[in-house]
Amino acid sequence: LTPTSPATPSTPSTTRSTAPRPQTGPALSAIAQLVAERPVGHSLAAPFYTDPDIYDLDMEEIFGKHWIFVASEAEIPDAGDYVTVDVGRHSVIVVRDDDEIVRAHRNVCRHRGARLLESPCGSVGNIVCPYHQWTYRPDGELAYAESQPETFDRSSFGLRSVHIRSLAGLLFICLADNPPEDFDEVATRLEPYLEPYDLRNTKVAHQTDIVEGGNWKLVMENNRECYHCDGAHPELITAYFTVSRYTEEQVTPRNREQYGRYLAAEQELARARSAIDFPQSDITELDTRPSGFQISHLPLDGDGASFAPDGRQLCRTLLGRIPSPAFGDLSLHLQPNTWFHFLGDHAVVFSVLPLGVDRTIVRTTWLVHPDAEEGVDYDVEELTAVWKATNDEDRELVEKTQRGVHDPGYVPGPYSLVEEEVEAFVNWYVTRLGAALPAHLFPNT
């Protein structure tokens, strides 16, 4: 296991106040009222998607306090490799130090505050500030600062660290001083599902950033259902069973035939799992804890191996100790900003990063076995085609919805039987927001 650094307490060590943010009383109480009046089983009221004050609150209470998926260890394989990640106004350096430990630091110089690294990724010996050349080791320690008095104590001016942890090679940061503690338990329960893929031992085959013209919650809600898949995702549905996760009563006459094939493929997958003592059960704890999550394993259609039109294997080398190509799709959803698909031959991982109230980055990374050779064992175009198309289709839907919820004619509408995970996401979200707002704003509860 690659260790990750324990975060040092941030300096200066002021206790963060739980009092309302520097915002006018009426704005906060209006938000509290919207939270209290949220109709269960319905989409959110328009201001949650359009109001800059609610966006600021989201950045503080959701992105500022939870574990946020930002990168994979495969993106920084060697000492000195780094990525920079912007979460709202916070810029963070995620770097592998000289002892191979993955660390996260504030991308802010301890001298007079200059932004240290501007590239989205790269490799450094040391981190040298472009302004007056204060020089930091990858572990954050200040190694050199010119023309300082005798009394200058270098050890007091290391980079401020940010909490970071690696879940089987997937890197999560938390900007809060005290991250949600329940992630430990979540990690322990997820490890047996992820370990067989050996994600630490993968390489990046491709990465894309797309900017969606919609609020981050519309991006997440759209991901949490496949109600739209039949109509919107011609590429994805050929690989996927649209009826995945359906119960008997959710099946319509139109998709009954597919449902039969789905059940048979599910049994086949259960057999493949037991061959390697892979956990058999799905877990759904999406809105019952701070680090809400769901892990579920679904068979794929056709050959059942990969996201190809015919379900055919797309990379010749399989990940980790996966026994056979047709190992279905292990999908992991974590609140608030991510989803993952782990297949026998590759993994696709997604990080949602808000840029503004109606602009959101979706970063998609395709991971393959480190020995897989591009052009020999896989073709990048083929490997990425389905999710590139799907992302683009989803972007359009998110943007249409953003335009719709911005329209004065919008009223929240009811979720269908197959949108329970959207409700779970929204419920998780309003619960977090409600808990963050001062109690006196909720006089009736």
Distance CA 264, CA 130 (A): 60
DSSP state of 68: E
> What does the alpha-carbon distance between residue 115 and residue 163 come to, in Å, rounded to a whole number?
19
CB of 407 to ligand 3BY, least distance (A): 25
Question: How far apart are CB 226 and ligand 3BY at their closest, in Å?
Answer: 4
Maximum alpha-carbon separation in the chain = 81
Q: Which is nearer to ligand 3BY, 173 or 349 (CB)?
A: 349
Q: Per the structure block, which two tokens stand in for 238?
A: 């050929």
DSSP secondary-structure letter at 2? -
With CB under 5 to 8 Å by kind, the binding choice for 226 among ligand FES, ligand 3BY, Fe ion, none is ligand 3BY
Query: Which positions lie near ligand FES, rule CB under 6 A?
Result: 109, 111-114, 129, 131-132, 134
Q: Can residue 348 be called a binding residue for ligand 3BY (CB under 6 A)? A: no
Residue 301, phi-psi category: left (phi > 0), alpha (psi -120 to 50), beta (remainder): beta
Contacts of Fe ion in 318-347 (CB under 5 A) = none
Q: Does 107 bind ligand 3BY (CB under 6 A)?
A: no
Strands 135-136 and 329-334: unpaired
Q: Which two tokens stand for residue 416?
A: 């269908």
Residue 358, classed as helix, strand or coil, is: coil
In the bound state with ligand 3BY, the residue whose beta carbon lies nearer, of 136 and 339, is 339
Contact, 301 vs 311, CB < 8 A?
Answer: yes
Q: At what angle do helices 216-223 and 420-436 cross, to 10 degrees?
A: 140
Phi first, then psi, for residue 444 (nearest 5°) are: -95, 5
Report in angstroms how near the CB of residue 147 gets to ligand FES at its nearest: 11
**Residue nearest to ligand 3BY according to CB distances in the complex:** 226
Select from ligand FES, Fe ion, ligand 3BY, none the partner in contact with residue 109, using the beta carbon and a kind-dependent cut-off of 5 to 8 Å: ligand FES
394 binds Fe ion (CB under 5 A): yes
Query: Which residue number, 129 or 349, has a Cβ lying nearer to ligand FES?
Result: 129
8 DSSP 8-state letter: P
Interface pick for ligand 3BY out of 331, 335, 391, 401 (rule CB under 6 A): 331
x/- letters, 211..230, toward ligand 3BY (CB under 6 A): ------------x--x--x-
List the 135-136 sheet strands across, edge first: 127-128, 135-136, 142-144
Judged by beta carbon, residue 110 or residue 217, the one nearer ligand FES is 110
Positions that interact with Fe ion (CB under 5 A): 394
Positions that interact with ligand 3BY (CB under 6 A): 223, 226, 229, 236, 331, 339
